[in-house]
Amino acid sequence: MPSITTRRRFLAAAGAAATASLAGCFDSVGEIDGDLGDGAPVPDDATTDWPLPHFDAGATSYNPNPVGPAERPEVRWSVEGEWPTGRIAVVGDTAYVPTADALLALDAASGEERWRAGPREDTDENYGSPRFTSPAVIDGTVYVGTSDRRGLLALDTDTGEERWRWNAGGPGADVRAPPVPTSDREEIAVGNDEGLVALLDSETGEERWRVEVFGAVSKLAHAFTTLVVGTTGGEVYSLYDGRGFWRRKVGGSVEALAVDGGSGAYVGTFGGGVYRLAGGAHAGQTRWRARRGPTAHDALALADGIVVGTDLSGASGLHHRTGEVRWEIDGTFGAPPAASGSLAYLAGEGEVVAVALDGGYGFGDARIDATRWRVPVEGVPTHGVSVANGALFLATRGRDGSSPRVYALA
């Protein structure tokens, strides 16, 4: 089959020195369909949770409703944590924080610990750190992957008690890719380091089907009836009902994966750029490739016509149809982006930054004043922010002798 590669390129930001005098003379980009604006009301039926690793089953990292802070937030709470290993999930009044040694359930209003799930206790052997993945929280159950031979765990959201576990691989079959549900949430998809992908019954953990792929499973995303899989071997698979729909080789290990409504895929790779792969009748074919795009740490944000990506040299917004750069921000953003309403939220060395998805003001590709606000945090955010109920949740690793911390900004 033909190879499919989509690349997103994140470039350095245009200067904002003349912003104050020019802002009133320019229109915003105006090409993002359905932009709600910073002050738009949140519909009554809109979710204000961040329930899955990258918000939804498609891993878009984008809530189209403006449920994040538009103005510069303050620190609601900050607590000493443990080494973060994934993005935080927030459902209702609880934040689920994955770390190297435990999955923590914290009160979203205060940061108080409610429960923790730690290393395996059903054996005398030492299997090392669990290194919990980003969790998926669905209908009273937390689904989270581990690296201590337990595989995927299904835990009670109220108590952290184990309901079932799945690990059909060998001794090295760690689950490092965050699990994702199907669109109807009746099944949960999981993959392990031995290249095994399985679809499980959400209630019982029973396998519906399994498929072997080339390389360790690094990313999963689901669109309608199709599961898209990325591997460290540089392969992207589209699976339907346990059968291969298409398969493509890309230019490096798959570091980020997201799917749009038409089952097309956006793929960020290590050293190979970012690709957009087509869905529909041309499924798997390359729509565009940003050859000098970023590593796209962990995730991309597909935000209403703009593709947001980050790396250690900056962040950029690309047009989803062409891959052309619409805006760019300088910074060391070693964590994936998130977006809500008309804003993208970036986490970098010691700070969280909010930027306008349309790139600010200007004509065409000449944009200025994309940055809306900056908030300093202690340490280095490593897995991005989660946007929920008017607040931002994030975890940082320690730096210069400081301890890891968990933050809520509101």
- The secondary structure of 208-272 as a DSSP string is EEEEE-SS-EEEEEEETTEEEEEETTSEEEEEETTEEEEEEE-SS-EEEEEE-TTS-EEEEESSS
List b or e across 343-358, with b for residues whose CB sees 16 or more CB atoms inside 10 angstroms. bbbbbbebbbbbbbbb
| Per CATH, domain 19-409 is 3.30.43.10 | no
Indicate whether 263 pLDDT > 70: no
Phi, psi of 282 (to 5 degrees): -110, 30
Q: Which two tokens stand for residue 279?
A: 């869905």
Q: Which residues contact residue 228 at a Cβ distance below 8 angstroms, ignoring those fewer than 6 apart?
A: 220, 221, 222, 236, 237, 238, 239, 257, 259, 263, 265
Q: Which two tokens stand for residue 17?
A: 């020195």
pLDDT in tens, 190-236: 999 999 999 999 999 999 999 999 999 999 999 888 999 999 999 99
pLDDT at 124: 65
Give the separation between CA 351 and CA 375, rounded to whole angstroms. Answer: 5
- Going by C-alpha positions, the residue among 112, 94, 204 that lies closest to residue 158 is 94
Give the separation between CA 15 and CA 207, rounded to whole angstroms. Answer: 53
pLDDT at 139: 96
List b or e across 87-112, with b for residues whose CB sees 16 or more CB atoms inside 10 angstroms. bbbbbeebbbbbbbbbbbbbebeebe
Which whole number is the average pLDDT over 146-172?
A: 92
Indicate whether 24 pLDDT > 60: no
* Residues belonging to the chain: 410
pLDDT at 37: 44
Give the separation between CA 396 and CA 405, rounded to whole angstroms. Answer: 5
Give the separation between CA 226 and CA 353, rounded to whole angstroms. Answer: 34
The Cα angle at residue 191 between residues 189 and 194, in degrees rounded to 5? 160
Q: Please count the other Cβ atoms lying within 10 Å of the Cβ belonging to residue 165.
A: 16
pLDDT at 189: 98
pLDDT in tens, 290-322: 877 666 779 999 998 899 999 888 898 888 999
pLDDT at 362: 64
Domain ranges of the chain: 19-409
Helix (H) or strand (E) holding 20: helix 19-22
Which whole number is the average pLDDT over 44-65?
A: 94
Q: Which two tokens stand for residue 260?
A: 């749009």
Yes or no: say if 302 and 314 are a contact pair by the CB < 8 Å rule. no
pLDDT in tens, 356-398: 998 877 655 556 678 899 999 999 999 999 999 999 999 999 8
Q: Please count the other Cβ atoms lying within 10 Å of the Cβ belonging to residue 7.
A: 27
pLDDT at 3: 30
- Choice between 264 and 246, residue whose per-residue pLDDT is larger: 246
Indicate whether 289 pLDDT > 50: yes
Phi, psi of 39 (to 5 degrees): -100, 10
Q: Which residues contact residue 203 at a Cβ distance below 8 angstroms, ignoring those fewer than 6 apart?
A: none
- Going by C-alpha positions, the residue among 315, 356, 320 that lies closest to residue 37 is 356
Beta-ladder partners of 115: 105
Of 217-221, 258-262, 401-405, the poorest mean pLDDT is in 258-262
Indicate whether 105 pLDDT > 90: yes
| pTM score, whole prediction | 0.88
Of 29-33, 89-93, 341-345, 403-407, the poorest mean pLDDT is in 29-33
Question: Chain-wide mean pLDDT for the chain?
Answer: 86
Indicate whether 22 pLDDT > 90: no
pLDDT at 367: 63
pLDDT at 39: 59
Classify residue 95 by its DSSP letter: E
Which whole number is the average pLDDT over 162-177?
A: 89
